[in-house]
Structure 1
C-alpha cells in the first residue's frame, strides 16, 4: 500500500478529488497517511480530519528562521514514512534536502501546460490571468515530479482545457480544476501506486 502525504495551503479541492478517487476506486493501492498545511486556517485540514486522516499544520511563521522550519518540516514528513508526497496547492518552497531525500517521490499539480505560464511568480490565479492576457486558446494542467527548479521536473501527465470567449481568471481557474487538475492528479497517483510510472 502506497503511503501518501498531501501538502496543501488552502481549501483542498485537489485533496477532495484524491479522496473521491480513492472512494470510487479510481485510485487503488494507495492511502493518505497525512495532510500537512502551512496555513492553520486551511479548510483542507478540516477535510482530512473529517475522514480520520492525520491533519498537521506547520507554518514557517512559527519558526525563527527558514532553516529551522525546513529542518522541522523534513523531520515531521519523515515521521510518516511516506512513499509519495503530493503537492496540491502547497505555497511553500520545498527544502532542497527534502527533494534530495525523496527524489522522484514528490509530485506537484500546476494549473497550466508546462512549459507555459510556470516558474517563479506563476501560482493560483496569476497563472490564469497570464494565460488570458496572452490570448491563448488552450490551457490546462500538468502533474510533474518535483526537482530543485520551479515547475521544472519531469512531466507525468498533462490535460488540455479550452479557453472560452468571455472567460475571467476565476471562471478559467474553475474549469481547469474541474476538467484537468481533478482528473490527472488522481490518475498520476494511481499510476505510481500501481507501478505504471517509471
Structure 2
C-alpha cells in the first residue's frame, strides 16, 4: 500500500489572472526531477482573456481550464456576492481533488470562506516582495520605488502559505533579487520574474512533500 500511495501522482490546481508565465514554469517541470510525481489537473482564471488559459490548453498534455469572472458572475443572478463567488471558486477547485492549490498571479483577495472550504488542502501564493514588505497590489513598482528612494536596502520575492491576512502567511521560499540604483524598472522586473519562476516550483515541491 505504501508503494501505491507513493506512486500516486500529486494533483495541482493553479489559479491565474494574466499571462501565466508562472503557470508555464510549473507546466514545464511537472513530473520531472524539479517537481516529481506531480501534475496540474486544473487551471482556473478570473479573466476570460488571460493568456494562461491558452498556455494550459497548449501543454503537451492539455490541462483542463475553467474561467469564472467576478462581475459577470455577480450580474447573472440576484443575491450573488463576493462571498458566494469565492464559494463557487472553492467548489470548482475542490472538484479537482487537489493536493495543493497554487495562486500564480491570481489577482483577487479571497474571503475567509474560501480558505475555510479548502480545509487541510494547502494554498500557497507567489508574491513579488519580501515578507512583511509591500503587501497587496503593485508590490513590484512599490518596492522598486522604495529602493530607488533609499527607503529599503533589499527587495525580492516569496511564496507563502495563504492565510486570512493578505500576504502575511508563513513564507515557504524567500529569495532576494539584485537591484541597482538608477536602473529601469523593466530591468529589475525581468530579474524578479526569473526568480519567481524558480521559487514557485521550489515552494510547490516543498509543500507537496510535506502533505
TM-score scaled by length of structure 1: 0.88
* Unaligned ranges ≥5, structure 1: none
Partner of 1:186: 201
CA contact (8 A) 1:29 1:194 kept: no
Using the TM superposition, give the Cα deviation of residue 20 of structure 1 relative to its aligned residue in structure 2, in angstroms.
Answer: 1.8
Residue 48 of structure 1 corresponds to which residue in structure 2?
Answer: 56
1:104/1:145 contact within 8 Å kept: no
RMSD, aligned α-carbons: 2.0
**3-state SS of 2:164 partner:** coil
CA offsets per residue over residues 112-135 of structure 1, 9 Å max, x none? 1111222x4444544434444445
Alpha-carbon displacement from aligned partner over 1:142-190 (angstroms, at most 9, x marks no partner): 1100000010011111011111133222221221111x21111101111
CA separation in 2, counterparts of 1:98 and 1:43? 25
Contact 2:87 2:114 in 1 (8 A): no
Separation of aligned partners in 2, 1:158 and 1:183? 11
Contact 2:53 2:65 (8 Å CA) reproduced:
yes
Please identify, of 65-74 and 126-135, the stretch whose mean Cα deviation from structure 2 is larger.
126-135
1:9 equivalent in structure 2: 17
Report matched runs for 1:98-113 at 5 Å.
98-102=114-118, 103=120, 105-113=122-130
Runs of at least 4 residues off by over 3 Å = 120-137
> What TM-score, normalized by structure 2, do the two folds share?
0.83
Give the secondary structure class of the aligned counterpart of 1:115.
Answer: coil
